[in-house]
Structure 1
Amino acid sequence: MNILLLDNYDSFTYNLKALLERSITGSEVTVIRNTDPKILTIITDALIISPGPKTWNETGLLRDVFQKIAIEERKPVLGICLGMQFIAGYFGIETGRMNNPVHGSQALIKHSGDPLFDGIPSEFHAARYNSLGLYEEESEELVFTAFEDDSDAVMALRHKILPIAGFQFHPESFMTVHGEKLIKNFWRYYVKNK
């Protein structure tokens, strides 16, 4: 299986690549920066959108890549941190400054029992590195599936119809207890079952 890992110029991108390769047997992960025009011609089985230091609308060619892979081809997409914010923004949910920005600390996450969290306790610890987040209500297309315990900030979402999901926290961090299981669940639920 070919996976396109779109790099939003983030230092965690290669940790995410290692997690994908470790979690998904037989996967071939190609990392390409969000400004490289060849991302528009890549043929892939799934798109993973990396974290990054900017806002969701400062992501190079990501909008075009997302339109092609997620909307036109209807292939699975997983957004991490900035990647999740991009998904939310694409579907009309704006991000805003967090009341308490979090960089490099563990947060208690509570999930709703969505299949992406199969086999994971309803409360678990995960790494957060973000100063922007979602506080709006769900949209017609997206449903929120996990929240931070302390702030009620949105920590995960998925599309109601398309195979698109996002995590605000970082599954690739050693501080995220079930990172590998989350990636395996995404793969099983969205890629193998499509």
Structure 2
Amino acid sequence: MWALIDNYDSFTYILLHYLQQAGADCEVYRNDEITLQQLIDKNPERLIISPGPETPLQAGICMSAIGYFHNKLPILGVCLGHQALGMFYGASLMQAPRPMHGKTSSIHHKGQPLFNGIPDPFTVMRYHSLVLDDMDGKELECIASSKDDDCIMAIAHKKFPSIGVQFHPESVGTEYGLQLLKNWVGMY
């Protein structure tokens, strides 16, 4: 079983259905309706942190779940989950150059396995006003960035199986979103 932490986002169940189409067996848990110990007791094989409003520090158990599981199992963070991973590993969070709620961008990627079979560049749907910054010297690598405003669009940890995407792969506005999730499912 894989645990999907729901951060009260309207896209959570679309993300769940995409993950299921990609072959994942997921259970959904609201970020404030399960404790870290209860999540640990469920012994998930993977952790997915959904999009959501607010900031990572206001997202229930997300930061503590990353803290416990980051060196134990693969983690995928989407939008808010991406920001939470970045913050956990020492990146800063800042205002985006402009709000990107329901906006598409073309992004460049660096050809990592997450992007197998996906052209470079490709179009993604963005719903955020915060972005990661200051990753110099951190344990993270930027593996994709937006062409229009040069914001970090995907990160990967250099040692642990933690990956974050700022955009929404589950949105119909994202090209190859299901392929990206299938790639993540098949990576570990």
Secondary structure of the structure 2 residue equivalent to 1:130: strand
Structure 1 unaligned segments of length 5 or more: list them: none
Counterpart of 2:128 in structure 1 is 130
Distance (Å, rounded) in 2 between the aligned partners of 1:135 and 1:68: 24
Corresponding residue for residue 32 of structure 1 = 29
| TM-score normalised over the length of structure 1 | 0.91
Q: State whether structure 2 residue 185 is matched by structure 1 residue 172.
A: no
Equivalent position of 2:8 in the other structure: 9
Structure 2, unaligned stretches of length 5 or more?
Answer: none
Alpha-carbon separation, structure 2, partners of 1:21 and 1:188: 13
1:96 is displaced (CA, Å) by 0.6
Asked whether the 8 Å contact 2:90–2:135 carries over to 1, the reply is no
Question: How many Å apart are 1:136 and its aligned residue?
Answer: 2.0
Number of residues of Structure 1 aligned to a counterpart in Structure 2 = 185
1:1-194 to structure 2, matched below 5 A, reads 2-24=1-23, 27-35=24-32, 36-37=34-35, 38-71=38-71, 74-189=72-187, 191=188
- SS at the partner of 2:100? strand
Cα distance, 1:188 vs structure 2:
1.4
- Structure 1 vs Structure 2 CA RMSD: 1.2
Answer with 129-138 or 42-51: which moved more.
Answer: 129-138
- Inter-partner Cα distance in structure 2 for 1:121 and 1:101: 26
Change (3 A) 1:63 1:40: farther
Cα displacement string for residues 25-63 of structure 1 (whole angstroms, at most 9, x for unaligned residues): xx3210001112233422111100000101111111122
Tell me if the contact between 2:56 and 2:62 (Cα under 8 Å) persists in the aligned partners. no
1:29 partner letter: C
Give, in whole Å, the separation in 2 of the partners of 1:60 and 1:48: 14
Identity value in percent: 38
Q: Which moved more, 1:33-42 or 1:180-189?
A: 33-42
The amino acid of 2:133's aligned partner reads Y
Q: 1:160 to 1:112 in 2, by over 3 A?
A: same
